């Protein structure tokens, strides 16, 4: 199918910062992986994927954007009640689709009051609102059925809508209306969705959320499956310093800059391994 794939996982606004910092740090070390033949983005990863494939901004400028005041972002918090609903849904679901349906009901109960405002935030994050001429796959989950949907340049769906859907955290942000259906966060199906890189020879996975849970495969499990199928795969998750930089709320805009700096610093310890993979 192809040679190189870059998978960017879910993880809130701190995940956005960490992934961009990691990509910039790798590039500083001489390993620019943003030219991968396939780029997969889920939730936070969809924001990063859309930007690095746009062709309109380089990693230095993209990194600097993470360090400025996050004006235009809406603060949010995945509070204890929402975390409890997530955990209960995971423990009582046998498949990712069943889990998605349960969280879909949570999202739909919140109505659509903030949908337009949230879309405006996502539009402000992106440097281009046009799909690139690249293999870009953005994930979302149908709120009614729990099925995984892949948005790509051939889907006919607006890029901003695709990214907004992929970032629609149930219980925090409203489900996003696309093609008459409501869609929620792509990370609801999997923290990384690395299975979408099946068939590629060399795969790099950046996963701000390292764990799965309940019916959801962890990034490590998905990476092992790719390797078992013959791919060379490298998985990078946040180190202890990066996790501290995230704070207790991955949706807090003020934590984006510390997360980006932590990702850039962590990249140095992975540059040699990634260079070997990408060579």
Annotated catalytic residue 185:
yes
Per-position DSSP letters for the chain, written without gaps between them: -EEEEEEE---HHHHHHHHHHHHHHHHHTT---TT-SEEEEETHHHHHHHHHTSSS--HHHHHHHHHS--TTPPP----HHHHHHHHHHHHT-SSHHHHHHHHHHHHHHT-STTHHHHHHHHHHH-S-SS--SSEEEEEEEETTT--EEEE-TTS---HHHHHHHHT--TTTS--EEETTEEEEEGGGT-SS-GGGGTTEEEEEEE-S----BTTBPPHHHHHHHHHHTT-EEEEE---HHHHHHHTT-TT-GGGHHHHHHHHHHHHTTTHHHHHHHH-
Give catalytic status of residue 43 as yes or no. Answer: yes
Active-site pick, 42, 46, 185, 217: 185
Task: Out of 42, 43, 93, 250, pick the active-site residue.
Answer: 43
Residues involved in catalysis:
43, 185
């Amino acid at each position: 199918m192809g040679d190189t794939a870059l998978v960017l996982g879910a993880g809130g606004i701190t995940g956005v910062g960490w992934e961009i910092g990691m990509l910039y740090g790798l590039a500083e070390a001489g390993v620019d992986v943003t030219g991968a033949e396939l780029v997969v983005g889920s939730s936070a990863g969809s924001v990063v994927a859309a930007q690095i494939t746009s062709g309109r901004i380089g990693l230095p400028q993209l990194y600097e954007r993470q360090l400025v005041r996050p004006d235009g972002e809406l603060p949010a918090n995945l509070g204890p009640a929402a975390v409890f609903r997530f955990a209960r849904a995971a423990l009582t679901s046998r498949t990712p689709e069943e889990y998605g349906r349960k969280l879909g009901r949570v999202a739909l109960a919140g109505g659509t009051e903030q949908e337009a405002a949230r879309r405006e935030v996502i539009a402000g994050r992106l440097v281009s609102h046009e799909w690139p001429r690249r293999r870009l796959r953005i994930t979302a989950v149908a709120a009614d059925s729990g099925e995984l949907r892949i948005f790509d340049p051939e889907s006919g769906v607006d890029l901003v809508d695709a990214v907004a859907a992929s970032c629609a955290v149930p219980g925090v942000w409203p489900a996003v209306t696309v093609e008459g259906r409501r869609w929620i966060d792509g990370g609801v199906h999997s923290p990384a969705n690395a299975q979408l890189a099946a068939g590629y020879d060399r795969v790099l996975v950046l996963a701000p959320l390292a764990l799965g849970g309940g019916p959801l495969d962890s990034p490590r499990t998905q990476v092992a499956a790719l390797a078992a199928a013959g791919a060379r795969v490298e998985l990078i998750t946040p180190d202890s310093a990066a996790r501290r930089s995230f704070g207790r709320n991955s949706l807090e805009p003020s934590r984006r800059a510390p997360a980006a700096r932590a990702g850039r610093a962590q990249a140095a310890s992975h540059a040699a391994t990634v260079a070997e993979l990408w060579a």
